[in-house]
Amino acid sequence: MSFFADPGWASVNRGVLICDECCSVHRSLGRHISQIRSLKKGSWNSNQLAMVHQLVSMGANNIWEHSLLDPSQGKQGRRKPNPRDSVHPMKADFIRAKYQFLAFVNKQRDSEIHCTAEDLNKQLHSSVRTSNLETSLRLLSLGADPNYFHPEKGSCALHVAASAGQCSQVELLVVYGADPGALDANGKTPIELAKEEKHADLPDRLVECQYELTDRLAAFLCHRKPDHRGNQHFIIPEMADSSLDLSELAKAAKKKLQALSNHLFEELAMDVYDEVDRRENESLWLDTQRHSSLVGERQTVPFLPVNPEFSSTRNQGRQKLARFNAREFATLIIDILSDARRRQYGVQKSSTIHVTSSTERSLRERSLREGHLHGNTNSSLSDDEPLYDSVASDEDYASIGDNQSLKEDDLKDLDSIQPDDYNKVKQSLVESQMHIQRLVQSNFELKQEINMLRNMVQKLIKENQNLKGEEEDEATLPNGHDPSSEPSRQRSNRPMSMFELNDPTRHKHWSKQHKETGSKGSSSSSVRSLTIMECDTPGNESQESDKSSRSSGSSQTPVEGMSDGASGEDLALPTQEDVVKKTERITKKIQELLVLAQDDKLDSYIPCSEKIHTAVVDMSTLFPSNLQDDRIQKALLQLSTGAERLGNQCKVTPSVDLSSPEKRRTHTQQVIQCAYDIAKAAKQLVIMFE
């Protein structure tokens, strides 16, 4: 609060009015602490000025001096300076403690309930829908985030304030850094919400807030602002004379500006905005001191104050902006405006407005006035000494003036671009990015599943190869004993295949001849590579019964379903070795299909399914047409039916909408399920011939 009765300045973000003396201290703090503006000569929007006066009338100053008003700390607390005290150090130290260090703000005591940052953010989200501006300022002073996205409401505080038509709340949030272009859960901006609620003038004001930086830079040069209601969002001034710097150094500097990332370009633009604010306020403040006594060095702000949140390199660059004379600084602003428009709309050319001769004169007068008024600080602004610590030479913008590309003959007006069109494109971009993320996630999950299944197939094939080796060793005994006349001795000692299911009927109907030939289901483990682990693992009890049934193979009967007078040889049943070979061929083709599914090669499904169908037909030709065993007939029928279903499923691949990740994934899963049915039927055949 001002120490005098007639304050001429306002701190916009603090909601207080200040006098000329305190203004110099506030300006020395920097815009990140106090945003100073002249009440009489500053550029104000009516809503913003009303917001400041509303905060003042509500006693916003009490927020920053809360502990000073606490009677319990009357003797222990700090004394507030009176108007007769000197600016330095009494008033200056008090102002720094009050606004920079927030020494007097109401802080939670240990005995009180501590509010987390999220609690403050949610309270601010609720507060802005009302007209209680002081509550919102108090929450912001405690650290509430104006851009906090409420996970349950799906919106930010600015969306709520705009929808409720709270103009003062909107102004306060924007002052504290709320983004007017932020999207809510429905992809709508605060501007669109204000239009939907038919709030007069508020949508237009939000558009102005969105372009506040470029508007301020343009107004600094040509004292004009774009007509946003007429869809003109940029004004690019042009130097009236031809005394532009077209040197290679200037061209290289402009190329460096265009090569900056969006993040670095935004930082540079904000730094130039702060420098514009410093120069304008410095000029206005010095005008008020013309009839006063000598202005002290400690009352001027010759360059931007240090912001501790920025790196030392950025602080040094910010302070070097003060070295630019009026023409150099104007050239830098023009380049920034041109590149801002290029980045916004993706164009190089833009509409311009000539800097008139009167503006040229004002630039020269401003340059002369700054040099005259700062004559007592020339030592600190000389090129021989740095403004802020020792830094390397900076040539990026020592002399910039390459504006030949902005000549009127080569320019065209593109201000007809609608904000609604831009917002729609922005929303489409967000939706596309989310769609890409879903595609990547679906692809990752599918590849992960197929990798697991392929590893299982390789493991089963390796197990079958080991079992084949055992069979060959058994078949070539050196004593000449016929292995076909001996029951299997090693059945219970070999590794358990994944096809050895808990099937009580698998060892009941086979003669010793069929049980002893082949590799005892050696290839059955390679049949299913998809969800083969869904099969039940045989328990200990079933394994014991399996051993006992195999050890008494000489008393077993042929396959159930045969006639009493017919044997396996009479019906020309294939041997176990033949069935295993055909099964291995089917398994190999299924494995190839899995590899194609993993690589997402849908166009190769059809030829691979035809190979699987051929392998199934070869398996069926091993069995006689007058087969009497119902179980074998059922397994063969499932095998052939599965092959036909797989072929039909693969034939519809060209008609699948490949652009949809859900449809691609569903189609691949259906193909894999068909392959699993084939593998399951082949497994049953192998089990019958063990």
Name the CA dihedral angle for 465, 466, 472, 478, rounded to a multiple of 10 degrees: 160
Please report the DSSP string for 60-109 in residue order.
Answer: THHHHTTGGG-GGGTTTSPPPP-TTS-IIIIIHHHHIIIIIS-TTS----
Record the tokens describing residue 344, joined without a space.
């916004």
Task: Say how far apart CA 223 and CA 500 lie, in whole Å.
Answer: 88
Please report the DSSP string for 290-358 in residue order.
Answer: TTSSPPPGGG---SPPP-TTS-HHHHHHHHHGGG--HHHHHHHHHHHHHHHHHHHHS-S---EEE--HH
Domain 9-100 has CATH 1.10.220.150: yes
Task: Give me the pLDDT at residue 55, please.
Answer: 96
Mean pLDDT of successive 10-residue segments in the chain (690 residues)? 68 94 92 94 93 95 88 68 86 93 77 72 96 95 95 96 96 96 95 94 95 95 91 86 64 89 95 96 84 57 93 95 92 92 70 46 49 40 42 41 42 54 81 85 84 83 80 56 44 39 39 37 37 38 39 37 41 80 88 85 86 89 81 86 88 74 82 88 84
Please report the DSSP string for 593-649 in residue order.
Answer: HHHHHHTT-GGGHHHHHHHHHHHHHHHHTTS-TT---HHHHHHHHHHHHHHHHHHHH
Helices (H), ranges, 476-555: 512-516, 540-551
Number of Cβ within a 10 Å radius of residue 171: 25
User: Is the bond into 483 cis (omega within 30 degrees of 0)?
Assistant: no
Task: Say how far apart CA 419 and CA 207 lie, in whole Å.
Answer: 9
CA 7 to chain centre: 47
Task: Say how far apart CA 616 and CA 17 lie, in whole Å.
Answer: 90
Number of Cβ within a 10 Å radius of residue 53: 15
Task: Give me the pLDDT at residue 548, please.
Answer: 38
Record the tokens describing residue 294, joined without a space.
């000598």
Strand order in the sheet with 9-11: 16-18, 9-11, 36-38
Task: Give me the pLDDT at residue 242, please.
Answer: 52
CB-based burial label for 397 (10 Å; 0-12, 13-18, 19+): buried
Instruction: Provide the residue ranges of all domains of the chain, joining segments of one domain with +.
Output: 9-100, 117-210, 212-289+301-417, 438-688
Helices (H), ranges, 128-244: 133-141, 157-164, 167-175, 190-196, 202-210, 212-222
Task: Say how far apart CA 450 and CA 426 lie, in whole Å.
Answer: 36
Beta bridge partners of 156: 149
Task: Say how far apart CA 573 and CA 626 lie, in whole Å.
Answer: 11
Record the tokens describing residue 534, joined without a space.
């869904």
Task: Give me the pLDDT at residue 447, please.
Answer: 84
Beta bridge partners of 237: 353
Task: Say how far apart CA 582 and CA 576 lie, in whole Å.
Answer: 10
Task: Say how far apart CA 420 and CA 140 lie, in whole Å.
Answer: 31
Task: Say how far apart CA 7 and CA 427 lie, in whole Å.
Answer: 45
Record the tokens describing residue 287, joined without a space.
């005008």
Give the start-end residues of each E strand in 336-447: 352-354
Task: Say how far apart CA 275 and CA 303 lie, in whole Å.
Answer: 8
586 with 612: CB under 8 angstroms? yes
205 with 47: CB under 8 angstroms? yes
Task: Give me the pLDDT at residue 64, please.
Answer: 94
Q: Which residue has the tokens 């050196």?
A: 478
Task: Give me the pLDDT at residue 595, please.
Answer: 86
Per DSSP, the three-state class of 143 is: coil
CATH class, domain 117-210, is mainly alpha
Return the amino acid letter for 567: S
Task: Say how far apart CA 667 and CA 671 lie, in whole Å.
Answer: 6
Residue 502 falls in which region: left (phi positive, over 0), alpha (psi -120 to 50) or beta = beta
Task: Say how far apart CA 151 and CA 346 lie, in whole Å.
Answer: 33
Record the tokens describing residue 637, joined without a space.
């029928």
Beta bridge partners of 529: none
- Positive/negative CA dihedral, 580, 586, 592, 593: negative
Q: What is the pTM of this model?
A: 0.53
Task: Say how far apart CA 22 and CA 508 lie, in whole Å.
Answer: 103
CA angle 148, 421, 237 (to 5 degrees): 90
Task: Say how far apart CA 649 and CA 163 lie, in whole Å.
Answer: 52
| pLDDT, tens digit, 9 for 90 and up, residues 127-173 | 999 999 999 999 999 999 999 999 999 999 999 999 999 999 999 99
The fold of 438-688 is Four Helix Bundle (Hemerythrin (Met), subunit A) (1.20.120)
- Positive/negative CA dihedral, 75, 79, 84, 88: positive
